[in-house]
Structure 1
Amino acid sequence: MGALDLDDLRELKDDFATELRRRNRSKITIDGYLMRIGYFVDYLIENELPTLAPEVTRDHVGSFIESLLTRPNKRSGKPLSPEYARSNYRALQQFFKYLAAEGIIASDPFDKMTLPDAPENLTAVPPDEALRALLAECAGTDFEALRDTAIIRMFTDTGCRAGELAGLDIPDLDFAENTAMVIGKGRRPRTAPFGDKTRVALRKYLRARAKHPKAKNDETALWLGRQGRMTDHGLRQMLERRTTAAGIDHIHPHQFRHWFAHTWLANGGQEQDLMMLAGWRSRQMLDRYGKSVADERAKAAHRRARLGDKL
């Protein structure tokens, strides 16, 4: 294939990536945008539609989104989720907004388009007994047992995202304050406190880590695997392996975050404090996290209030 036209979406997506880096977006965020733009370009090529930005119309974008809402998943054969279509819509919307701002396109094809509807899928909050079973599965004194126990306790005690935990370095831990300095979305740092059991688990792991073969190659990465620093994908693989061995439903990292939010609120924690701890700027996030068991918290609050008994 020869050189692409400078107005071709395949060329422009790299310019968009440069703009995202200038805005200090994380690599995970940038890669996500580029992947979804790539899906759109593949769709245009497969259907013999134009890939030059000025020639892309609202109909082209609309037909792509419609294809996502009707296309079966290659693995399961089931239809792709509406939320998957929405994530592609949002990525392309930001891309074309950038193209319009740069004067590359005269009009934005997303003008007067609306985000596809999607039913609200509530994330299940893992029951306490499942988390205890998971910790029991990790019991032991070998390196992986100590590491996985520390990871799971950090997930439950801090409510951190997988990427935030994977990015931790040893100097980010402050054992005088029992806190970890994590880098959240938008490259925003925040302090994540943890309790005594997590502290003990971390200290035991760090003593084992000092003897790990990869410790000399990567002196700062907190979590080490066979190849060196563990990625967020490595954390997910560990959880899949451990939950299977524990005989419980698979728990993905974000479910720990939902458990953290639910448990905080159920124990009378203040919403404003939860926003600070979780790194949320919008109160809308309070409604999303732990919403699947919000009725449980409401009933517990009613039992504590004993309103009828006051008469």
Structure 2
Amino acid sequence: MTAFIDKLTAGLSRVWSGFVRDWERSLRAGNYPETTRYNYLLAACQLARYLAEHSPDPDADDAAEDPTAVTRAHIEAFQAWMIDTRSASTALNKHKALQQFFKWLQLSEEEIDRSPMERVKQPKTPGRLVPVMPEADTAKVLATCKGKAFTQLRDEAIIRLLCNTGARLSEVGRLTVEDIDLNTDSVRYHGKGSKDRRVRFGPRTARAVSRYLRSRAKHKGADLPQLWLAERGGRPLEPNGIKIMLKRRGLAAGLSGVHAHRWRHTFAHAWKRAGADTGDLMLLLGWTSEDMPRRYGASAAAERAQETHLRIGIGDH
């Protein structure tokens, strides 16, 4: 994480850099997941850079030097800039991260009396539907992994775990060798909020994982604890590397928009279609909010409604 912080804070004022580093230590002490810490820190550093390089406000110079000088107007301008240059959903993620940063400055560090986020409204985001992944498309992606080369075996195991367990990309990407249990054909995921859960997988996934582990044992870096290894260099394959791999495999299969979250939505859709228990789905996918089952698989809700309509046959008897 030190290398990430050095990169993130490069070019920032000494005061901003110092606060970001102290916040990272506080987040680590609070046992926040590494991905969450990185996203939080990135948002704070992006705000600092915006104030120094892009803000049209002549009064932004002080805020670019010291986060305690940031005002509500600075935040709103940054949020609007994020919507214009990225997207509303990205701006929303930055909003949530900055809420935590200024809350820390106010309550933990007592550096400010009031948070500049106090009356800043969250950006509204369009309710985009994530399309499910048809079985035929999954088969096409898996077909690009046929063979006995290390990357082919690794990529098939990753894809089968994603579609067979509905896990998050970060959860699959952060697995260790010890998280896999081939005696019970199950995997231990480390979910959000440091919540662990064990999920069973099917025989085809078990075979793919077992074949990968045999190949991994002969690969450079086999002594590393991380489950997924890069093709070269004896180093781990990071979640972002998996993201890139999935996109590449998708394009090779003639498909666009292939990403891990589509299999998570597909898992939820298939579970609902089978009429299985929503509480069990929440346990398997690591959800604590009952809103999540309604959100996931929403893109296929109309399809499920049509199927139910045909099955019941209202007014057609």
TM-score, length of structure 1 as denominator length: 0.89
- Per the alignment, residue 5 of structure 2 pairs with none
Give the 3-state SS of the residue equivalent to 2:104 in structure 1.
helix
Match of 2:180 among 173, 177, 186: 173
Match of 2:72 among 58, 65, 80: 58
Match of 2:95 among 86, 89, 92: 89
Shift of 1:291: 0.8
Match of 1:250 among 231, 252, 257: 257
Pair 1:222 & 2:227 matched: yes
Match of 1:136 among 138, 143, 148: 143
Match of 1:69 among 83, 96, 99: 83
- Per the alignment, residue 4 of structure 2 pairs with none
Structure 2: how far apart are the matches of 1:213 and 1:113? 50
TM-score, length of structure 2 as denominator length: 0.87
Structure 2: how far apart are the matches of 1:37 and 1:94? 10
Match of 1:98 among 89, 96, 104: 104
> Post-superposition, which runs of at least 4 consecutive aligned residues in structure 1 deviate over 6 A?
none
Structure 1: how far apart are the matches of 2:100 and 2:216? 42
Structure 2: how far apart are the matches of 1:109 and 1:18? 23
CA contact (8 A) 1:275 1:286 kept: yes
Amino acid at match of 1:163: S
Give the 3-state SS of the residue equivalent to 2:198 in structure 1.
strand
Match of 1:208 among 184, 195, 215: 215
Instruction: For 1:229-240, list aligned pairs within 5 A.
Output: 229-240=236-247
Gaps (5+ residues) in structure 1? 72-79
Give the 3-state SS of the residue equivalent to 1:229 in structure 2.
coil
Q: Deviations over 1:38-60 (max 9, x none)?
A: 11111222245122344221111
Give the 3-state SS of the residue equivalent to 1:224 in structure 2.
coil
Shift of 1:181: 0.6
Shift of 1:69: 2.3
Pair 1:281 & 2:295 matched: no
Match of 2:133 among 126, 145, 151: 126
Q: Deviations over 1:5-47 (max 9, x none)?
A: 7xx4432222221221111001111111111111111122224
CA contact (8 A) 1:159 1:257 kept: yes
Gaps (5+ residues) in structure 2? 1-9
Give the 3-state SS of the residue equivalent to 1:251 in structure 2.
coil
Q: How many residues align?
A: 298
Give the 3-state SS of the residue equivalent to 1:14 in structure 2.
helix
